[in-house]
Structure 1
Amino acid sequence: MPRNRPGALRGTQRLRHRPRGWQTPVPDRIHGLSARTSLAIHRYEALSADYYVFPGVTDAALRRYRAFLSPPGRGIRYPYLDDCDCRGCFLRDVRHARDMLGTALRNLPPRARAELGRLVDALDADYLARTLPDPFVLDRREWRPHVWWYRRLEGCRYAQSGRV
């Protein structure tokens, strides 16, 4: 009787004892991040119990943050307050998108946190350069006054779109 090779036996054992979560398809890679970091973000989003964290929210927040800073030139940008607080609309306000990136940074493993942090730090420097500080922020009761991206001068939603 012929003998089976040890590698062939281990290969069949590997297929039988595959973890349950591996049947899901591999997520798309987030632009500007490695595949390992994208997978860590996908795992965090899939396992999170937070209402605002769902699969793909970190990628959407990065896209929104980049889109806010993408117009050419060095013109001043004014973030606007969006009143809708549902999961589908809350990323329209760039400050909420930055909140989501901060949440992801707090919950990722160290290597993925460092890589995403480098990307967010570069975007934060551009955000600081293209927005103005709010001189009256100390007079108002802010929702989260300790977060610096909320202490920037905000504008009117219609002024940015040219419909004033």
Structure 2
Amino acid sequence: MPRRRPGALRAEQSPRDTWHLPVLRIHGLSIRTSAAIDRAERLSGDYFAHPGATDRALRRYRAFLRAPGRRPLYPRVPLCGCRGCSFDDVRHARDVLDTVLGWLPLRPRTELAHHVRALDFEYLGRTLPDPFAADRQWRPDLWWRRRLADGQEGG
């Protein structure tokens, strides 16, 4: 009996079930945490916490803090409130991270919180407090919203 080629054997097999793997591996997080975040985003009905929003929020937060120099940074006010444009405001990215942190199980929440806490510490050092935040902000109870913002990002 002739031997069958490996390609012919693989072609007959059903495709592997990859539903348990995340669609997106988030840079700096474990595969388990990425899977938990992906699951939480897919099951949520939140308009802003769609699949991939956490990865985008972390990238946006890191990019904002990566600005060169030591001058204070000012979050940018978004021109529009849609899903894409709202990430122009780093405070919105932090809102999304806070929302997703509330949905996660203990271990993934701890790992994500560790990364966010490091970014928060740098954010506090690079931005200035807003003494009139209670009048200007729609959520003045959140500490990251009580920082001075400007129309342009940077110094």
- Following superposition, the deviation at residue 26 of structure 1 comes to 4.0
Gaps of 5+ in 1: 1-17
- Corresponding residue number in structure 2 for 1:94: 90
CA distance in 1, matches of 2:22, 2:36: 12
CA–CA separation in structure 1 for the residues paired with 2:73 and 2:151: 11
1:79 corresponds to:
75
Asked whether 1:68 is paired with 2:52, we answer no
Deviation at 1:89, TM superposition (A): 1.3
> What amino acid is aligned across from residue 41 of structure 1 in structure 2?
I
Q: Which residue of 2 aligns with 1:8?
A: none
CA-atom RMSD, angstroms?
Answer: 2.1
Contact 2:36 2:108 in 1 (8 A): yes
Match of 1:150 in 2: 145
Equivalent residues of 2:75, 2:149 under 8 A apart: yes
- Shift in CA distance, 123/114, structure 1 to aligned 2, threshold 3 Å: same
Query: Relative to structure 1, is the Cα distance of residues 103 and 27 closer, same or farther in structure 2, using a 3 angstrom cutoff?
Result: same
Q: Distance in 1 between matches of 2:57 and 2:80?
A: 16
TM-score between both structures, scaled by the size of structure 1:
0.78
SS in 2 for 1:114: helix
**C-alpha spacing 1:136/1:27, structure 2 compared with 1 (3 Å):** same
**Scaled by the length of structure 2, what TM-score is found?**
0.82
| Contact 2:67 2:154 (8 Å CA) reproduced | no
Q: CA distance change for structure 1 residues 73 and 45 in 2, over 3 Å: closer, same or farther?
A: same
Aligned residues: 140
Q: 2:37 aligns with which of 34, 41, 45?
A: 41
- Between the aligned residues of both structures, percent identity stands at 56
Q: Of the candidates 128, 135, 141, which is equivalent to residue 131 of structure 2? A: 135
Give 5+ residue unaligned stretches, structure 2.
Answer: 1-15
Amino acid across the alignment from 2:151: C
Instruction: State the structure with bigger RCO (CA 8 A, min sep 6), 1 or 2.
Output: 2
Encode CA deviations 1:40-79: one digit per residue, 9 max, x unaligned. 0011111111111211000000000000001233221001
